């Protein structure tokens, strides 16, 4: 059973040792780490090369000289490189809890048995922490008010996406479904989740599998979804409209029969449900 962990790095030297040590602390040990650096200017490359020097059987670095592609295209490159039965996405600043690979693999194999031949994706909740891994909230889903059941409805998934890439495992049948990742895709994990929701099977684990850091260098990060946040978003009307247009463009790239009215109804319903 071959599992590849795909890691895109960018100026992550401050956090990488924690991450890599958490990978070595996994209860399931039959994995490879595939790394692509996205043009770091700190000591990231020196650090990952030192780990590779100690474990050339499991750690592989791909240097394509393309410098800064951004996370979406960097992870796409790693997906093309992997020939594993299962693939997982990894963020440089997270900390994997010891049973992450084993529990996710158990779930994905269970779904494969129930749905033979299907593309399958499994994701999980996360514990939200500060920069030093002190717990801020025990559940990312509750912290950001996202519902994991949204993966069962394409419009809800588009409006209120619960799938965080660093918790995801996919089987090899997902690759031809999602590659190449188009420019219209907002992020690789969202694009993959939407495709599998349409043509495959998605499952989730309610038990958090990761310590998810919040800090200034986060490329995405979680935002506390309280009433003030949604009032602020409504006041920033232009920005909200722009972001929703990007989501609609992504959905169009899926060749999905889109109902704009249904999209906006879903958007309004979810926004107001979080306010009250």
Contact criterion met (CB below 8 Å) for 212 and 166: yes
pLDDT of res. 229:
47
Structure tokens at 88: 């997982």
**Rounded distance between C-alpha atoms, residue 198 and residue 189, angstroms:** 14
Count of structural domains, the chain: 1
pLDDT at position 239: 45
The pLDDT score that the predictor gives to residue 19 is 98
Contact 169, 87 (CB under 8 A): yes
What span, in angstroms and rounded, lies between the C-alpha atoms of 11 and 93? 10
The answer to whether the CB of 163 falls within 8 A of the CB of 189 is yes
Instruction: Give the pLDDT of residue 152.
Output: 93
pLDDT digits (tens, 9 = 90+) for 147-186: 999 999 998 998 899 999 999 999 999 999 999 999 999 9
pLDDT tens digit sequence for 102-147? 999 999 999 999 999 999 999 999 999 999 999 999 999 999 999 9
Average pLDDT rounded to a whole number, residues 198-219: 88
pLDDT at position 272 over 90: no
Task: Report the predicted TM-score, pTM, of the whole model to 2 decimal places.
Answer: 0.89
State how far Cα 35 lies from the chain centre.
16
Taking 80 as the threshold, does the pLDDT of residue 234 lie above it? Answer: no
Report how far residue 103's alpha carbon sits from residue 181's, in angstroms, rounded to the nearest whole number.
28
263 vs 126, which has greater pLDDT? 126
Q: Does the N-terminal peptide bond of residue 180 adopt cis geometry, omega within 30 degrees of 0?
A: yes
What CATH number is attached to the domain comprising 110?
3.90.550.10
What 3 state SS string does 152-189 have? HCHHHHHHCCCCCHHHCEEEHHHHHHHCCCCCCCCCHH
Write down the mean pLDDT value for the chain. Answer: 89
Nearest to 35 by CA among 6, 75, 10: 6
pLDDT of residue 65: 80
- Whether the predicted pLDDT of 236 surpasses 50: no
What backbone torsions phi and psi does residue 246 show, to the nearest 5 degrees? -65, -40
Q: How confident is the model at residue 219 (pLDDT cuts 50, 70, 90)?
A: very low
Domain that holds residue 16: 3-275
């Amino acid at each position: 059973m071959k599992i590849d962990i795909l890691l895109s790095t960018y100026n992550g030297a401050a956090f990488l040792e924690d991450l890599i040590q958490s990978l070595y602390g996994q209860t399931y040990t039959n994995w490879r780490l595939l790394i692509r650096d996205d043009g770091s200017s700190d000591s990231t490359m020196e650090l990952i090369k030192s780990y590779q020097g100690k474990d050339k059987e499991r750690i592989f670095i791909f240097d394509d000289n393309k410098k800064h592609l951004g996370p979406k295209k960097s992870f796409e490159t790693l997906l093309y490189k992997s020939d594993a039965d299962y693939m997982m996405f990894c963020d440089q600043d997270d900390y994997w809890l010891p049973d992450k690979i084993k529990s996710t693999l158990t779930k994905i194999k269970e779904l494969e048995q129930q749905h033979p031949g299907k593309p399958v994706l499994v994701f999980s909740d996360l514990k939200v922490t500060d920069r030093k891994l002190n717990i801020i909230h025990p559940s990312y889903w509750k912290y950001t008010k996202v519902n994991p059941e949204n993966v069962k409805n394409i419009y809800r998934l588009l409006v209120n996406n619960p799938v965080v890439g660093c918790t995801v495992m996919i089987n090899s049948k997902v690759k031809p479904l999602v590659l190449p990742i188009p420019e219209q895709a907002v992020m690789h994990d969202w694009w993959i989740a939407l495709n599998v929701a349409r043509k495959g099977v998605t499952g989730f684990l309610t038990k958090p599998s990761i310590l998810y850091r919040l800090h200034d260098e986060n490329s995405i990060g979680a935002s506390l979804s309280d009433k003030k946040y949604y009032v602020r978003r409504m006041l920033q009307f232009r920005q909200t409209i722009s972001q929703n247009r990007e989501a609609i463009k992504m959905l169009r790239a899926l060749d999905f029969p889109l109902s704009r009215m249904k999209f906006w109804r879903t958007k309004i319903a979810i926004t107001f449900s979080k306010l009250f």
